């Protein structure tokens, strides 16, 4: 007889969320710590729904995809280890070994501003953590929407394939345009300014950018890498589009 089930995931970078947080999935709380996620669920819940662990994994991965959109950093998330806990304390382990994503190590420089009385005026790390949590909460409003998941996965593909980053990012407005019927209807439904939509198209279709969709139309010696500002602009616009779509889902 199994008393309850524990699920555990490993992930890296181990401080991907920088501090402990939680993911709420299908009424269950998944606790995200340093490099590990844990959840405890009554065995009867698994008996009632054999696919529950798969649903929880997909929901958890959505949380990582949301964080990835905000940080633009890749991650690796294991499939869950299922631990059956018996009344006598005995544990049976079932391990799956297929990763999700790819790890890239990055560094951030943080700073604090403290007044003469020792009071913190500004803490860049805490502000960043709070802003990202707010962003995940906003994106989570559209959780379980299939198109939102696709948009987040497109963003992941762009991060994994920087040589074709703008090629991938252009798929996001294309998907939204298809969803709503055309560009104009998508812009109206999502409240995105035409100038922002146009700017992304200009970046992605710039024939002189190596990462762009039409790089083959420019002479080789005229090709150049997209600048930091150009890539930052493109990433910011698609982030705005995805967040706007999540808000739309919540209202619908």
Residue 116 pLDDT > 70, yes or no? Answer: no
- Best mean pLDDT range from 113-127, 140-154, 197-211, 215-229: 197-211
What is the rounded average pLDDT of the residues 176-184?
A: 97
What is the rounded average pLDDT of the residues 133-141?
A: 58
Residue 111 pLDDT > 50, yes or no? Answer: no
Read off the pLDDT band of 174 (50, 70, 90): very high
What is the rounded average pLDDT of the residues 137-153?
A: 74
* pLDDT value of position 142: 46
What is the rounded average pLDDT of the residues 155-182?
A: 96
**Would you list the domain boundaries of the chain?**
4-101, 141-251
Q: Does 219 or 66 have the greater pLDDT score?
A: 66
Cα 25 from Cα 61, distance rounded (Å)? 11
Average of per-residue pLDDT values in the chain: 81
Give the DSSP per-residue string, 26-56: TTEEEEE-SSEEEEEEEHHHHHH-TTHHHHH
Q: What is the per-residue burial (b if ≥16 Cβ within 10 Å, else e) of 214-246?
A: ebeebeeeeeeebeeebbebbbebbbbbbbbbb
Read off the pLDDT band of 27 (50, 70, 90): confident
pLDDT, tens only, 196-251: 999 999 999 998 999 999 887 766 578 899 999 999 999 999 999 998 998 898 88
Residue 98 pLDDT > 70, yes or no? Answer: no
* pLDDT value of position 218: 64
CB 149 within 8 A of CB 62: yes
What stretches of 49-145 show up as alpha helix (H) in DSSP?
52-71, 124-140
* pLDDT value of position 135: 54
């Amino acid at each position: 007889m199994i008393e309850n089930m524990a699920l555990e995931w490993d992930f890296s970078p181990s401080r991907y969320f920088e501090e402990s947080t939680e993911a709420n999935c299908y009424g269950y709380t998944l606790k995200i710590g340093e490099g590990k996620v844990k959840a405890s669920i009554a065995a009867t819940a698994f008996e009632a729904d054999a696919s529950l662990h798969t649903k929880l994994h997909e929901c958890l991965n959505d949380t990582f995809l949301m964080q990835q959109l905000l940080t633009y950093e890749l991650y690796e998330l294991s499939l869950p280890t299922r631990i059956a806990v018996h009344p006598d304390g005995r544990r049976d382990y079932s391990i799956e070994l297929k990763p999700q994503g790819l790890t890239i190590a990055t560094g951030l420089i943080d700073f604090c501003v403290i007044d003469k009385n020792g009071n913190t005026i500004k803490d860049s790390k805490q502000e960043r953590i709070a802003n990202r949590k707010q962003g995940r909460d906003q994106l989570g409003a559209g959780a379980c929407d299939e198109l939102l998941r696709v948009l987040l996965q497109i963003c992941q593909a762009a991060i994994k394939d920087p040589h074709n980053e703008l090629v991938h990012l252009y798929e996001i407005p294309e998907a939204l345009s298809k969803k709503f019927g055309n560009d104009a209807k998508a812009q109206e439904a999502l409240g995105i300014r035409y100038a922002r939509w146009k700017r992304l198209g200009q970046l992605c279709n710039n024939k002189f950018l190596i990462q762009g969709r039409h790089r083959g139309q420019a002479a080789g010696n005229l090709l150049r890498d997209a600048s930091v500002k150009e890539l930052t602009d493109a990433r910011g616009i698609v982030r705005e589009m995805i967040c706007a779509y999540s808000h739309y889902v919540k209202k619908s």
